Amino acid sequence: MKKERVRNVTVVIFVAAILIFQVYSGVFPPVTIVTSESMQHSASWKPLVLNTGDIAIIKKVSGIGGIETYVLGRSSGFQSFGDYGNVIVYRAPDGISIIHRAMFYLQWVDGNPVVLGYDNQSWLVVTHSYVIIKNVGYSHRNLLVYIEQYRNESGFVTCGDYNLANLNVSYNESVEAYAAADQDGIFGFQDPPVKISNIVGKVIGEIPWFGLIKLTILWKLGLQKQENQVPHGAYMYLITTISAGITVIFFPYRRLWMHFRGKR
């Protein structure tokens, strides 16, 4: 009877915790699986960044002020998942959900581009045609974002950490910078700046590896195309974690206790 009571209390606490977190998140479901390498910082699994197969935990944002961009974060010192600013989940015009870093918020005032947080920083260049952020990310490259084609379209400009570091992105020798943002069409997205209404939420945490279970099943059944390699070590960490969990749950603690007690 006592075991049953403990089990019931445990279930109630677990369900209550899920409901409380759901309310706090404001997003249903409050998680999503990272399906590509675009936010990785290495070909191997690394902690504290978003790797293929990780589960991203999301929280809804109510307005522009709820998102700390790279530009704002670099000025204030705020970082998440290996670099400055928030990582956001947004819906592209084709309906695909994308998990990338919010680099800056672009708005137009009397036909002039305004980057939220720009205050004549030496590492930030804002012109009518493009924006350059110098020394970005783990690759320390200069990021070039063409903005002229989005005149009078305000919103967030985003970029994948890995995409900027990838050697295949477009390099402009005249300004010594790489074009890798989602909003300049280099990768074929040609998406406009992301409006707050298209943002699902910002990523506030992650559960490593466990999204690989679902992804692997989908890949094996042919229900989803595997576009990127799983980072080295991820499957090993997943199997090790599951094995450790099973051991903790089914380990014969009582039998071991009785064994040592009988020897006294």
Per-residue pLDDT, 19: 75
Segments forming the whole domain that contains residue 90: 21-246
Task: Give the C-alpha distances (Å, rounded to integers) separating 170 from 42, 138, 181, 236.
Answer: 20, 18, 10, 35
**Residue 258: inside a domain, yes or no?**
no
Give the Å distances, CA to CA, from 162 to 8, 11, 172, 176, 253. Answer: 45, 40, 18, 19, 46
Question: What is the model's pLDDT at position 50?
Answer: 97
Q: Is 13 part of a structural domain of the chain?
A: no
pLDDT for the residue numbered 225 = 79
Rounded CA-CA distance 208/80 in Å is 15
Interval 49-97: pLDDT, tens: 999 999 999 999 989 999 999 999 999 999 999 999 999 999 988 888 9
Residue 263 counted as domain residue: no
Residue 253 lies in a domain: no
Q: What is the domain count for the chain?
A: 1
Tell me the residue ranges of DSSP E strands in the chain: 31-33, 55-59, 79-80, 83-84, 87-91, 97-109, 112-115, 124-126, 130-136, 141-146, 155-159, 170-172, 177-179, 199-207
Q: What is the pLDDT of residues 136-165, one digit of tens each?
A: 999 999 999 999 888 889 999 999 999 999
Q: Which residue has better confidence, 222 or 157?
A: 157
Report yes or no on 202 lying in a domain.
yes
- Which pLDDT value is given to residue 27? 81
Tokens of 187: 């990768």
Q: 264 lies in a domain? A: no
Best CA proximity match to 179, nearest among 141, 144, 135, 134 = 144
Identify whether 31 is part of a domain.
yes
In a domain, 139, yes or no: yes
Residue 63: its pLDDT value, please?
92
pLDDT digit string, tens, across residues 86-130: 999 999 888 889 999 999 999 999 989 999 999 999 999 999 999
Compute the residue count for the chain: 264
